[in-house]
């Protein structure tokens, strides 16, 4: 299972939210590159970079942060937040993203999302399927799409999606453990899916459990920043 630390960006700074609420924003580092390099120094190869300003503005904003990290580290970066147009996508890839995550766009403009999938392939385009009470949450989790999570994932997998990041919004940033039952259900329903678990991971012991369920990756944020899981532990897990 891939270990994928998250860096969430507001005003160019590394922050974390709780349950997607911007009013809970807490700055952990003024310099995201410093954080990324520390991850890299501990053997981590992947990074989940989220443009929270972009998610709010509905277009890419913090691409310079992406470019700085991509050119100064060897991390493979999955970038998301506010990608709504072909131009946004081009900027993200030109700035060094290895993959991009589209969530709101897949709900509001599925044709554009499908065209990205066709043009760039299923290895580069990740479906962001974030859930609140088993319904897909969009627009930085501020909006209920009205779509139910399971059929939503199934529909996109049938159209060629290979990778899905699923965050249970109620768990995100709460350090109360991930949504094991939800992930188990998704994997059972879609055994060939590469599911990346995100949200709520709070202790190291939860990682082997997610691996046993069949998750392809796990995104960690606050647990690292709050010292609940050390980079040394992650380094040993990777090895």
List pLDDT tens digits, range 200-213.
999 999 999 999 99
Indicate if 130 belongs to the active site: yes
The confidence band for 22, taking pLDDT boundaries of 50, 70 and 90, is: confident
- Number of independent structural domains in the chain: 1
**CA 55/CA 60 separation, integer angstroms:** 8
The model's pLDDT over 32-88, given as tens digits with 9 standing for 90+, comes to: 999 999 999 999 999 999 999 998 888 999 999 999 999 999 999 999 998 999 999
Instruction: Answer with the residue of higher pLDDT: 133 or 9.
Output: 9
Indicate if 51 belongs to the active site: no
pLDDT above 90: residue 24: no
The model's pLDDT over 133-158, given as tens digits with 9 standing for 90+, comes to: 889 988 666 667 789 999 999 999 99
Domain that holds residue 101: 2-238
DSSP track, 224-237: HHTTSS-HHHHHHH
Output the CA–CA distances (angstroms, integers) from residue 98 to 47, 79, 239, in the order listed. 10, 8, 23
Residue with tokens 């329903």: 189
Interval 153-174 mean pLDDT: 91
Classify burial at 170, counting beta carbons within 10 Å of its beta carbon; exposed 0-12, middle 13-18, buried 19 or more: middle
Q: Looking at 8, 51, 53, 88, which residue is catalytic?
A: 8
- Which residue from 143, 132, 191 is spatially nearest to 167, judged by alpha carbons? 132
Q: Looking at 51, 88, 130, 168, which residue is catalytic?
A: 130
Question: pLDDT at position 149, please?
Answer: 95
- The residue count of the chain comes to 239
The model's pLDDT over 121-133, given as tens digits with 9 standing for 90+, comes to: 999 999 999 998 8
Is residue 179 within 8 A of residue 171, CB to CB? The reply is yes
Q: What is the CATH number of the domain that holds 28?
A: 3.20.20.70
Q: pTM for the full model?
A: 0.94
């Amino acid at each position: 299972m891939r270990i994928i630390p998250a860096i969430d960006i507001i005003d160019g700074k590394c922050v974390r939210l709780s349950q997607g609420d911007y009013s809970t924003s807490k700055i952990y580092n003024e310099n995201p590159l410093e954080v990324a390099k520390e991850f890299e120094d501990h053997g981590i190869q992947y990074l989940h970079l989220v443009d929270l300003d972009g998610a709010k503005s509905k277009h890419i904003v913090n691409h310079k942060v992406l470019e700085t990290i991509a050119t100064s580290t060897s991390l493979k970066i999955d970038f998301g937040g506010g990608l709504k147009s072909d131009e946004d996508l081009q900027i993200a890839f030109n700035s060094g993203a290895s993959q991009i995550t589209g969530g709101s766009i897949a709900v509001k403009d599925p044709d554009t999302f499908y065209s990205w999938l066709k043009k760039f392939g299923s290895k580069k385009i990740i479906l962001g399927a974030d859930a609140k009470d088993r319904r897909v949450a969009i627009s930085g989790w501020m909006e209920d799409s009205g779509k139910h999570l399971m059929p939503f994932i199934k529909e996109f997998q049938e159209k060629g999606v290979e990778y899905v990041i699923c965050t249970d919004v109620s768990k995100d940033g709460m350090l109360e453990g991930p949504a094991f039952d939800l992930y188990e259900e998704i994997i059972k329903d879609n055994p060939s899916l590469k599911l990346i678990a995100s949200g709520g991971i709070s202790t190291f012991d939860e990682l082997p459990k997610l691996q046993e369920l069949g998750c392809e990756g796990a995104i960690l944020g606050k647990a690292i920043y709050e010292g609940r899981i050390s980079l040394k532990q992650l380094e040993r897990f990777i090895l």
